[in-house]
Amino acid sequence: MLNRIEAQEIAERISSISRYVRFAGIINSSGRVVAYVRRSDLKPLLNTIKTKNQFSHLVTRSGMTSQFNKQLGHVKFVWEEREKVQTISFDLGKNIVWVSIDKNVVRSEVLRIIDNCLPIVKHFQ
């Protein structure tokens, strides 16, 4: 179980990987943000209510996906490419690491971000 200091450390380490990381946060099993770092020069794309709904959806999806772990193995990460932003989520025990990245970043940079996030997440599992 992560404490707040560890959660904040994860968010800070991930946000420092690339200048294209918009937001790095740790979401608990209730869909609440435990710790985060947001790039200060950007306006959030979601308001408070929609952010809560996004994280609740993320937790629900993660829980539903876990029923296939025995047959398919555990999910390492999920990468979503949307029209306005790219997101990556990593399961971290009962928590989820959620990262948003600028939309117009080349895929090789997103893969570099993922490759640098994986050891951070693994360290705290």
Q: Which of 41, 27, 31, 35 is nearest to 11 (CA)?
A: 35
With residues binned 3-state (H G I as helix, E B as strand, rest as coil), the percentages for the chain, rounded to 5, are: 45, 25, 30
The answer to whether 28 touches 98, Cβ cutoff 8 Å, is no
Phi, psi of 2 (to 5 degrees): -75, 140
**13's tokens:** 């380490």
pLDDT digits (tens, 9 = 90+) for 56-92: 888 888 888 888 888 999 889 999 999 999 999 999 9
Overall domain count for the chain:
1
| Residue 84: CATH number of its domain | 3.30.450.30
Q: Which structural domain, as residue segments, surrounds residue 94?
A: 4-123
The pTM (predicted TM-score) of the whole model is: 0.90
Q: Which of 9, 72, 67 is nearest to 97 (CA)?
A: 9
